[in-house]
Chain A
């Protein structure tokens, strides 16, 4: 069932166009990498602050709301460019453990970021203990690292 879907995606006009073009895949990959830098910065700046490093004089709440548009913007760029890369090699992804690891980590990371992490970053500082915010930062970093490592490893096959 899922395999047929992946097969259909790979054989779609879009997948084929990206696969057959010499430039398209590297160019989309580059966009994906540029998005990586921005999303990495947007996540790190908040997670560092949650752990008590970086921009310590600003409240977590303020930093988080400042970078929120960059986080969402870069996430959209990542999802679109990543989706395009996927269409060109869907069947390879189907058989690659790193792809499934990445998708699992991505699902959990997005879920965690927009629920638990968000509730901590929007709450008043005095209501959230340092242990709790540090824990949230560590989980966030671990999940997003899983996404990054899984993603890089899809390329090695």
Chain B
């Protein structure tokens, strides 16, 4: 007997195990949450707005320059191919407040974009890829700061930082580039589920 779940459309589940049911319940509750979100007045207003949505979208895209532009500068320094004469800690510390400010704007504007179109975005494959990549990127940054960056005094002035720092910078560049591409692709509906 195939277990039929309802996450937007009817779907036959091939693995009818206990885990599978639990997994579906979890997905189902996320979807229910998104459906509830879509029916809140704020979401409807945003969805139907003529200018608010495109303006928020523009803010989200253009803040890329502030947030990612400066984060990329740090990553390039870590990889050892830009600003090689500037101490690493200086690039990290002096640019950090600006990067953080940019990140806050990105998160708020991104959350609002999600809030305006929750169900469709939640079901979009590129959105899901983006969320996973964001977590990986966060993990990479956390590992970098909690390990090799603690000893930055030892390699602060090196034009080309040690391997682990270069790897962290390279991974960060890779993750963020993929996040940008995935983010851009959310707007396209190639893989959307038929309504």
Which residues of A are at the interface with B, using a C-beta cutoff of 8 A?
22, 26, 29-30, 33-34, 36-45, 48, 53-58, 62-63, 66-67, 70, 145, 148-149, 152-153, 156
Contacts and interface: CB of A to CB of B under 8 A. Distances in A.
B98 A54 contact: yes
Label chain A's interface by main secondary structure.
helix
Interface of B: 54, 57-58, 61-62, 64-66, 68-73, 76, 82-86, 90-91, 94-95, 98, 176-177, 180-181, 184-185, 188, 190
Contacts of B85: 58, 62, 66
Contacts of B95: 45, 54-55
Chain B binding surface, main DSSP class: helix
Contacts of B176: 37
Contact of A148 (B62, B70, B86, B180): B62
Contact of B54 (A45, A48, A156): A156
A55 B66 contact: no
A53 B185 CA distance: 35
13 contacts: A30-B180, A33-B61, A33-B180, A37-B68, A41-B65, A45-B69, A45-B70, A48-B98, A66-B85, A67-B82, A149-B62, A152-B58, A153-B54
Given A29-B184, A54-B94, A152-B58, A63 B65 contact: no
Given A55-B90, A152-B58, A37 B98 contact: no
